[in-house]
Amino acid sequence: MTKRRIFDSIITRLVIMVVCLVCLGTVIRYYALGSFLRQELSTVVQEQQQAMAGYVARDIDDKITQRQTLLAQLATDLPQAMLVQPAALQDWLRQHYRYQSLFPGGLFVTDPHGRVIADYPTAPGRQNHSYAERDYIQSAAKGSRYIGKPVIGFALRTPILPMAIPLFDSNRRVSAILVGITPLSSPGFLDLLQKTQIGHGKGGFLLVSPRDNMYIATSQKKMALAPLPPRGNNPLHDRAMAGYRGSGITTNANGEEEVAAMVTVPSTNWFVVAQLPASEAFATVGHAQLFAIKGAIIATILFALLATVCMYFVLLPLFQAAEDAERMAHGDMPLLPLSIRRRDEVGHLIAAFNRLLGKLHEQQGQLERLAHHDTLTGLPNRRLLADRLKLALAQSRRHGTHLALLFMDLDGFKRINDSLGHDAGDEALCMVTARLQAIVRESDTLARIGGDEFVLLMSHLDAQAAEMARTVADKCIAAMQPPLLIGGAKFKVGISIGIALDRTDSTADSLMQEADQAMYLAKYNGGDCLRHN
């Protein structure tokens, strides 16, 4: 089977059509499934992010609150008299520092102007150093406890979170400021936020200070104390800075899509961000889509193979019928009805073809009859007579028999045509034919070769061929004696007969010429008689 035939095959076209439909359905399912799963997962992931951000925010809030409470208690317990006794104050700080672990960066006391009076543990350069420019000092100097902006500590040289609380004298004036320092990297402080990652490395937590416009701490240490990106880079972040707390899908400053949730840390007005790249959050969608595509490809291949095999067997009778029809067209086999193997649509098609073939046979038979028979009388014409004469000559020589040829022409026929017309003449010819057919044998051939000329071929004759031919000729003459009744009138029609017998050197043409000449001799002698060659 050639490639062209394969591509032109109805099976190939049907399989391609079905595969295209399956592929179209797969594409639709691919996007529909992706959209559905993404929508469902989006809700679930956002809720998960919200829950994790809330848990981290509560943890941070608890730790900040503990430090604020401890610092307030220390401020209450600190004797006012020690503010003028630096050595005693430092000893008091040392004693109280041992019993708490919430300020591993140390404690120090400043005067109302921010100059350090005493600290513990003693840090190089901190004694008598002025922190007047620090926001927490400025706020505490006005009488308010304050959580300062996270900075790189002057003494510790590491990121720290300072907390300050004012000490009041008997006149409710700020007499000193107590400061507690917590390094952001202190164990047990921001560990949950800094050491926890979400997903496979790019997701995590951010601790954001809207007041200070900075990241306090993140799961990625390089971002700690970094300024926030400009507005407009991350729509959800901009909403969070404006006070929105919740979750959503956004595009971060790096242009990457992510799922984020924001929860406030109540004690500081900071907020925690739990973020996860959308590529990881919705990885299941991609996996499901990939699984669907792989399944669809495998199913399509299996379906195409199965459909091809099934359709091949269904259409096999049609293929076989087409092969047989093609062989008939090339003449390799006779025109016969095709076999009907199944009574389905293919069987109905083959049956219709067989009916068409039958009509073609019928029409072909009619054409052959028209080509070899006289249309008026139904007798063989000159062409068929010639074929049968040649065949009879060959058989007579093979079997040692003889044949005779009787050439007959009607006498008085022209008068019927002239007086009554051609229709009457045709009727007369049919009557003559009927009378002659009643005389001849079944093995003989009676032919009409022209107007009113008839030829009788007598084959398979023995040595008495001449006598048998004369006997039949006499019968023909006798048969024409009764007049013909045409249109209410009687017409006498005679017949002139010329007889030719075969010889060893006879041919079909020579016999026809001899019989024709003998007929003209009969005509010349008055007609209604016979003559031999």
- At residue 349, the pLDDT reads 74
Determine the Cα angle at 261 with ends 43 and 202, to 5°.
Answer: 100
Q: Higher confidence at residue 352 or residue 106?
A: 106
| 436, part of any domain | yes
381 and 482 housed in the same domain: yes
397 and 367 housed in the same domain: no
- At residue 177, the pLDDT reads 96
pLDDT digits (tens, 9 = 90+) for 438-459: 999 888 999 999 889 999 999 9
- At residue 392, the pLDDT reads 92
| 517, part of any domain | yes
Mapped onto helix, strand or coil, the DSSP state of residue 425 is helix
Residues of the chain with pLDDT > 70: what percent?
A: 95
Is residue 149 over pLDDT 90?
yes
pLDDT band at 417 (very low <50, low <70, confident <90, very high): confident
- At residue 8, the pLDDT reads 62
**Where does a domain end: 371, 388, 422?**
371
- At residue 233, the pLDDT reads 83
- At residue 54, the pLDDT reads 94
Residues of the chain with pLDDT > 90: what percent?
A: 46
Instruction: Find out whether the peptide bond into 121 is cis, omega within 30 degrees of 0.
Output: yes
Q: Higher confidence at residue 47 or residue 360?
A: 47
520 and 436 housed in the same domain: yes
Q: Higher confidence at residue 336 or residue 500?
A: 500
378 and 458 housed in the same domain: yes
Whichever domain contains 156, its CATH number is 3.30.450.20
Which own/partner pairs from 445-449 qualify as long-range (CB within 8 Å, at least 24 positions apart)? 445/380, 445/384, 445/385, 445/388, 446/379, 446/380, 447/374, 447/379, 447/380, 447/381, 447/382, 447/384, 447/385, 448/374, 448/376, 448/377, 448/379, 448/380, 448/381, 449/381, 449/382, 449/385
Which letter, b or e, does each residue of 220-237 get, where b requires 16 or more Cβ atoms within 10 Å of its Cβ? beeebbeebeeeeebebb
CA 270, CA 267: separation in Å to the nearest integer? 8
- At residue 409, the pLDDT reads 94
| 433, part of any domain | yes
Beta-carbon contacts of 460 under 8 Å, excluding residues fewer than 6 positions away, are: 395, 396, 399, 401, 403, 443
pLDDT band at 3 (very low <50, low <70, confident <90, very high): low
| 148, part of any domain | yes
416 and 352 housed in the same domain: no
**Where does a domain end: 371, 397, 422?**
371
353 and 455 housed in the same domain: no
Mapped onto helix, strand or coil, the DSSP state of residue 257 is strand
Longest dimension (CA), the chain: 183
| 346, part of any domain | yes
**Where does a domain end: 131, 151, 183?**
183
Whichever domain contains 472, its CATH number is 3.30.70.270
pLDDT digits (tens, 9 = 90+) for 479-508: 999 999 988 888 899 999 999 999 888 899
| 507, part of any domain | yes
pLDDT digits (tens, 9 = 90+) for 217-272: 888 777 788 898 888 888 888 899 999 999 998 888 778 889 999 999 999 989 99
Quick one: DSSP state of residue 376?
Answer: T
| Range of 106-110, 185-189, 347-351 with top mean pLDDT | 106-110
149, amino acid identity:
K
363 and 377 housed in the same domain: no
Q: Which helix (H) or strand (E) holds 289?
A: helix 283-329
Is residue 191 over pLDDT 80?
yes
- At residue 7, the pLDDT reads 62
Domains in the chain, number: 3
- At residue 365, the pLDDT reads 67
431 closest CA partner among 456, 404, 410: 410
pLDDT digits (tens, 9 = 90+) for 223-234: 788 898 888 888
| 259, part of any domain | no
341 and 448 housed in the same domain: no
Determine the structural domain holding residue 360 and report its residue range: 334-371
pLDDT digits (tens, 9 = 90+) for 39-53: 888 888 889 999 999
395 and 516 housed in the same domain: yes
CA 161, CA 183: separation in Å to the nearest integer? 6
Is residue 1 over pLDDT 60?
no
Q: Which two tokens stand for residue 420?
A: 């009554």
383 and 523 housed in the same domain: yes
Q: 498 near 520, Cβ under 8 Å?
A: yes
499 and 452 housed in the same domain: yes
- For β-strands 203-209 and 116-120, DSSP reports them as unpaired
| 329, part of any domain | no
364 and 385 housed in the same domain: no
